[in-house]
Amino acid sequence: MKKIAIELTNVSRKFISPTGVSTLALHDFSMTLHEGDFCAIVGPTGCGKSTALGMITGLSPPSSGTVRVFNQPVTKIDPNIGFVFQADAVFPWKNVIDNISIGPIYRGTNKREAKDKAAEWVRRVGLSGFEYHYPHQLSGGMRKRVALAQTFINEPKILLMDEPFSALDVQTRALMQDELLGLWSENKASVVFVTHDIEEAIALADRVIVLTKGPGKIKSSYEINLPRPRDVSTARYSTEFINLSKQIWSDLKDEVHI
């Protein structure tokens, strides 16, 4: 039986503005992820999706409720957690291989070993020949490959992703989704993937959680039983995929209606 990797129990999160106004971003939210699970969270802007990720990292403690990672209360940043942001989190003054090797170096690996390991990850994310290019010399999709390699090289047991592909064009986005699934299938980290895109959520995840408009709470949850390994470009044309998309949109449309 798989162990529980992430457990949020009845968590709420309030933010206080500089003028003293209290805003409830997330309310009575509970979620459990086991080792190797891939869960996507969808919902309207301001529903607390990113707030949930912040509570898992320890950067944004809950106002109430409990957060546990591998059965331990979250009290600080956990080195077992990797985070991929929407914006490129690469160092513009470092080339590809230096960007990828920086994580292991900070964690105590000697530079030679870290560079050797980074070279292998350059190959695995399809950037061979670009080892000494700088971020400004790369396309958006290539920079995102660097960001994925930066994260996976540290062998995270939990991977948090906050709309990581939203800035990419449609074709590059589909390629990066397939790239992510390929890397995840090898490492089997527990993934929480935040997105506004219903089709992206269904294509990637084993479970899709739909949040209400803010303050966010769970409106519905869907198990995604599409077979794996999953090809993103073809999965979305299946009858099951289309039906799931319609059901999730039906849940979500009232939350985003203006």
Q: d(Cα 38, Cα 207) in Å, to the nearest integer? A: 7
- Report the pLDDT value the prediction gives residue 66, as an integer from 0 to 100: 93
pLDDT in tens, 99-157: 999 989 988 889 999 999 999 999 888 899 999 999 999 998 899 889 889 988 998 99
Tell me which of 161 and 15 has the higher pLDDT. 161
- Residue 45 CB-density burial (10 A; 0-12 exposed, 13-18 middle, 19+ buried): exposed
- Cite the beta strand spans of the chain per DSSP E: 4-16, 22-34, 38-42, 64-69, 72-73, 81-84, 158-162, 190-195, 207-211, 218-223
pLDDT in tens, 206-223: 999 999 887 888 999 999
| Position 39, amino acid | C
Tell me which of 185 and 87 has the higher pLDDT. 185
pLDDT of residue 200 exceeding 90: yes
Give percent of the chain with pLDDT exceeding 70.
99
pLDDT of residue 76 exceeding 90: no
Q: d(Cα 33, Cα 4) in Å, to the nearest integer? A: 6
Tell me which of 171 and 94 has the higher pLDDT. 94
CA angle 127, 132, 133 (to 5 degrees): 75
pLDDT in tens, 156-175: 999 999 998 887 888 888 88
Across 41-58, average pLDDT: 86
pTM above 0.85, yes or no: yes
The helix/strand/coil state of 47 is: coil
- Report the pLDDT value the prediction gives residue 257, as an integer from 0 to 100: 63
Whether CATH 3.40.50.300 fits 4-80+158-256: yes
Domain boundaries, the chain: 4-80+158-256, 88-155
- Report the pLDDT value the prediction gives residue 94, as an integer from 0 to 100: 94
